[in-house]
Amino acid sequence: MTLISGWHRILFLAITISASGIAAESLSARDQPGLRTCDGIVAFGEDNPEVRLMKVVTKGQRLPFYRNRTEKTPHCPVEVDGCQLKSFVVPGDLLLVGPDMDGFACASYISPNARRVRNQFRETIGFVPLSELAVVMGAPPTPADWSGTWFRSAEAEIEIGPDGPGKLKILGQATYGGHDPERVKRGAINVGELEGIVDMPKANMIALGDDFDGTKPLGKDRSDCRARLRLFGPYLVVEDNGGCGGNGVTFIGVYMRRR
């Protein structure tokens, strides 16, 4: 049996407690509940009710985006250089912003002058500090605000326009594999459609689907196409239940109107 002298015992206990504290701190930093990754404002299979339009009001010349919390960056997102991404926005830019998270929120930005390159928009995604943003409160959208041809980053477009007094017509087309040369060669492209005529919405949302008013979850039943379209300034945010086309086809995403 090995005996530990008094001061050795104190030193041993101090080191043990310190190590335990570091491990606990690291664990709590990495495993805090709530959103810790920002992969976009809308995601397949999830309802995303807390989307807001916000304006950059930072007093600086630019506002950087911040990294996700990962095993390699367990302390992010925080306002330190090690968490900053190279991407940034400037005062006056309009962002789509998700739920609050310890003073930060997941945000998405597409320039109003964006052009599709190789069928992709340049969409910037990351965390931003909420203290540098202000909510944009606008009037309910008009028919002109809705009308036009809206494009997602790839393989989907939605056309919205008037269809008689007080009505809007929605017609969308999407594919899966349309930009994959091998799938095109094999003819293995899946397609989908989004279609409906609705009353002019009083707010910023259009709901498509039998017995679906947009306020309930989209659900996982794919026997019927359900979709929620929400207008936030220059952005059209679309979610669906995966039942609007063939395997892999979805209209989910952020759309910009063709200029």
Q: Which of 79, 83, 86 lies closest to 67 in space, CA to CA?
A: 83
Residue 74, pLDDT > 50, answer yes
- Tens-place pLDDT, residues 88-133: 999 999 999 998 888 999 999 998 887 766 666 788 999 999 999 9
Check whether the bond before 77 is cis (ω within 30° of 0).
Answer: yes
Q: Which residues pair with 237 in a beta bridge?
A: 230, 254
The percent of residues above 70 in pLDDT, for the chain, comes to: 81
For residue 206, give every residue at least 6 positions away whose Cβ sits within 8 Å of its Cβ, in sequence order, or none: 146, 168, 170, 196, 198, 214, 228, 229, 230
What is the DSSP track for 211-250?
T--SSS---S--SS--EEEEEETTEEEEEE-S-SBSTT--
**pLDDT tens, 193-243?**
999 999 999 899 999 998 899 988 888 888 899 999 999 999 999 999 999
* Cα 106 to Cα 128: distance, rounded to the nearest angstrom: 7
| Average pLDDT, integer, range 174-181 | 79
Q: What phi and psi, each to the nearest 5 degrees, are found at residue 14?
A: -65, -45
Q: How far is CA 26 from CA 33, 48, 71, 73, 74, in A?
A: 14, 30, 10, 11, 7
The pLDDT-based confidence of 4 (bands split at 50, 70, 90) is: very low
- Do the Cβ atoms of 155 and 149 come closer than 8 Å? no
